[in-house]
Chain A
Amino acid sequence: MNPNTEQLSLFGPSPQNPYTISQITRHIKELFDTDFQLQDVWLEGEVSNFSRSAAGHAYFTLKDAAASIHCVLWRSIAARQPNLPRDGDTIIAHGHITVYEAQGRYQFYVDSWQQAGVGLLYLEFEALKARLAEEGLFAPERKRPLPPFPRCVGVVTSPTGAALRDILHVLGRRFPLTRVLLAPTLVQGAEAPPQIVAALRALQSQPEVDVIIVARGGGSLEELWAFNDERVARAIAASRVPVISGVGHETDFTIADFAADVRAPTPSAAAEIAVPDQAELRDALQMRNRRLVQLIQSEIARERRALEAQTQSLRRLSPRSRIDALRQRVDELTRASATYVAHRLTLCRERLRARTLQLQGMNSYAILARGYAIVRQRESGLVVRSVAQVQTGAQLDVRVSDGEFPAVVE
């Protein structure tokens, strides 16, 4: 009964006891605030009467053909958006509805919004992405390195799409040594996610598959939607082998991209990432080959130098120099001895000559001219110096100055 309590009368108002405006407004606000539905509202409508206050808050009206609602976008929320809604935009907004008591009207307090059409999908996308990220599905430490030379590349895509053609073209050009195992699947529509999941599983059961490409050519957001499916994301994250995603064009990001070990901007790029380039490999091979030749040549050169060093040592230590020295000594001695002998011979010859001259001087035959004779026994040749040496009848030779004659002793 006391209006100051701001409680509504259990028995309702009366002319004697009317409600204050604040009381009834608070009551209405409480009705709004206790309504669960009004706390979590998605609205789609056209923007009109958009304005911003000096404080930065934005006010506008969302309307459809038959109704409208006042909307508030606080500066803190407006600041998070790259673009603010403009009059005429159709948007999908999320927020809660409550009463602004001062003006006695209910308002939609927007906490997020998107352009209609892509907007809703985008918000779903953001919500799923946030949830899976929270769960750690996209954590960098989950990402596995790709095999450098995959034996077999599993491909999950449409068997008739341009993506497959591009992938095969790139794989064939870069690394035709690899095998390709295609797990055909739908890539859009409601059937696509379970098929993609099944294709991923089927490839993992093939032991030779080293890496998997999940791909789809470019398309609208709706067409790429299968790759934003939670089941697909989980199947990719759970894959036995690393997964490369190549969905859409460069600017398209899907949940599959975040779940994959490597995100490629396009199917072709996924194929490029999956295998090495044979041109580079050939360069590398040539480089290794040149290195091998270089190494063996320097090895041989080193061995040759070592051999030469040994040869030189051997030469230094060889007996040849001693032999040479001895040979020279022998030579010297030979020459010295020859000189000596010659000298001796000359000496002897000189002496002989001297003796000869002397002999000539002393020649006994010269005496014979003076009448002496030399008598020799014929048989013995002995010079007779005494009568005792001869008997009668002995035969003698008598030498006189101009010759010899025989004689007999009487």
Chain B
Amino acid sequence: MEQIPTTENLSFEEAFRELEETVRRLETGDLTLEESIVLFEKGQALARHCSAALDQAELRVSQLSGTGGENRQVVFGGDESAEREE
């Protein structure tokens, strides 16, 4: 039986790749029904995770102060604040 991994901590890329891998494994078949269902549920969770990540994402912008300095978070939120910056 396949373990259901937590999708919570996966990055978008990891989740997206895992989703593709899950679909691929389901496609190749050769699984018990229980395994298929576990994979199916895992795939759905991954797809939800990816969608939610996109839904909640907001561009975070920071700026290097000086050359090689520490990062400094700046106030660019999205389009409006970027325009404010102009």
Task: Report which A residues bind B (CB closer than 8 A).
Answer: 148-149, 151, 159-160, 162, 164-165, 168-169, 171-173, 175-184, 198-199, 201-203, 205-206, 278, 281-282, 285, 288-289, 291-293, 295-296, 299-300, 303
**B55 CB to closest chain A CB, in angstroms?**
9
Give 7 closest A-B pairs by Cβ, nearest first.
Answer: A176-B57, A149-B13, A172-B59, A296-B40, A198-B67, A168-B82, A202-B68
Residues of A within 8 A of B44 (CB): 289, 292
- What are 15 contact pairs spanning A and B, CB under 8 A? A165-B82, A168-B78, A176-B78, A180-B62, A199-B64, A202-B68, A282-B51, A288-B19, A288-B43, A292-B44, A295-B40, A296-B36, A299-B29, A299-B33, A303-B33
**A242 CB to closest chain B CB, in angstroms?**
16
Q: Is the interface of B mostly helix, strand, loop or mixed?
A: helix
Tell me how many residues of B have a C-beta within 8 Å of chain A. Answer: 43
**In this assembly, does B1 line the interface, its C-beta being within 8 Å of a C-beta of chain A?**
no
Q: Is there an interface contact between B47 and A182, defined as CB atoms closer than 8 Å?
A: no
Q: Is the interface of A mostly helix, strand, loop or mixed?
A: helix
Q: Is there an interface contact between B64 and A202, defined as CB atoms closer than 8 Å?
A: yes
| Interface 0/1 of B58-71, CB less than 8 Å to A | 11111110011101
**In this assembly, does B53 line the interface, its C-beta being within 8 Å of a C-beta of chain A?**
yes
**In this assembly, does B86 line the interface, its C-beta being within 8 Å of a C-beta of chain A?**
yes
Give the distance in Å from the alpha carbon of A389 to the alpha carbon of B12 in the complex.
Answer: 129
Residue ID in chain B nearest A200 by CB atoms: B67
Residue ID in chain B nearest A303 by CB atoms: B33
Q: Is there an interface contact between A285 and B79, defined as CB atoms closer than 8 Å?
A: no
Q: Is there an interface contact between A164 and B33, defined as CB atoms closer than 8 Å?
A: no
Q: Is there an interface contact between A278 and B82, defined as CB atoms closer than 8 Å?
A: no
Residue ID in chain B nearest A208 by CB atoms: B71
Give the distance in Å from the alpha carbon of A165 to the alpha carbon of B81 in the complex.
Answer: 9
Q: Pick the contact of A184 from B54, B58, B64 — CB < 8 Å?
A: B64
Residues of B within 8 A of A285 (CB): 16, 19, 47, 50-51
Residues of B within 8 A of A300 (CB): 33
Residues of A within 8 A of B68 (CB): 198, 201-202, 205
Residues of B within 8 A of A299 (CB): 26, 29, 31, 33, 36, 40
Q: Is there an interface contact between A148 and B61, defined as CB atoms closer than 8 Å?
A: no
Q: Is there an interface contact between A180 and B76, defined as CB atoms closer than 8 Å?
A: yes
**In this assembly, does B83 line the interface, its C-beta being within 8 Å of a C-beta of chain A?**
yes
Residues of A within 8 A of B26 (CB): 292, 295-296, 299
Q: Is there an interface contact between B63 and A281, defined as CB atoms closer than 8 Å?
A: no
Q: Pick the contact of A181 from B19, B62, B85 — CB < 8 Å?
A: B62
Residues of A within 8 A of B71 (CB): 181, 206
